[in-house]
Amino acid sequence: MGLELYLDLLSQPCRAVYIFARTNNIPFEFKRVDLRKGQHRTEEFQKVNMLMTVPALKEDSFTLAESIAILLYLARKFKTPDHWYPAELQKRARVDEYLSWQHTTIRMKAGTMLIHKMLLPVITGKPVPAEKMQSLTEELNVVLNQFEQKFLQDKPFIAGTEVSLADLLALEEIMQSLIVGHDPFEGRPKLAAWRKRVEGAVGQQLCQEAREVMLNPSNPSADQITPEMVELLKKKYLK
């Protein structure tokens, strides 16, 4: 058995893993896990990852969750070029710093926006209140400002002169709000320029391929989302 990657390209960390593996010609078998259909909660998938999250990796009896762990594992196992996770101590620390910070900031804010704008209306039958959308947008703006000021600054990439895992993950996370029609690059020329650089480094075509699902998500209808998922989403987001 070779390397299996369990992915739903609607998810930011999945796209990052996909792009990283493909751009480095890492051979793997793509196993699709449809989140909206609740496929991450099936008994079968739980055998791969009992945390019920994507991305997940399986290699013989070794399984791994968490995109950061997977990206680093692949980088080490396949000895990818140094710039992805520089050996130099301080550059490496910069990558680690971003990878740690993003969990409760960019990941959380962009992800929450998606849930509120795309999924909850399907469940409740009502569009997201304008007030809520505005506060979500403001919160996202705060973290984007922090990203530009603290992580990017005046450098071409987060760790310096070359693209790294941090940029790859950051870009897919920042892109996420595009799914619901919110353009995070509007009015942010520095961010837009950085995006071009990252996509240039990785390959435009590959990026487009990875984003096909997210940019054409085909608005979910109520019957596409399993009752179990509906209940879960209600419980978590409609208090």
Partner 1 sequence: MGLERYLDLLSQTCRSIYIFARSNNIPFEFKHVELFKESVLGKKPAAGSGAEQPHAGPSSREGAGKVSLLKKVPALKDGDFTLEECTAILLYLSRKYNTPDHWYPADIQKRAQVDEYLSWHHANIRASAPKTMWIKVLIPLFTGQPLPSQKLQEVMEGLSSSLKQFEERFLQDKAFIVGSQISLADLVAIVELMQPVGVGCDIFEDRPRLRRWRRRVEDAVGKELFFQAHEMILNIKELSSMQIDPELKEQLAPVLMKMLK
| Binding footprint of partner 1 on the chain (CB under 8 A) | 50-51, 62, 64-70, 72-73, 76-77, 89-90, 92-94, 96-97, 99-101, 103-105, 108, 142-143, 150
In angstroms, give the least distance from the CB of 50 to partner 1. 5
Chain centre distance of CA 126: 27
User: Cβ closer to partner 1: 149 or 208?
Assistant: 149
In angstroms, give the least distance from the CB of 73 to partner 1. 4
User: Cβ closer to partner 1: 96 or 162?
Assistant: 96
Q: Rounded to 5, what percent of the chain is helix, strand, coil?
A: 60, 10, 30
Residue type (1 letter), 39: Q
Closest CA to 51 of 10, 114, 6: 6
Omega of the bond leading into 121 within 30 degrees of 0 (cis): no
User: Cβ closer to partner 1: 66 or 162?
Assistant: 66
In angstroms, give the least distance from the CB of 26 to partner 1. 14
In angstroms, give the least distance from the CB of 150 to partner 1. 8
User: Cβ closer to partner 1: 76 or 196?
Assistant: 76
Within 8 A by CB and 6+ apart from 173, the residues are: 12, 13, 102, 106, 107, 110
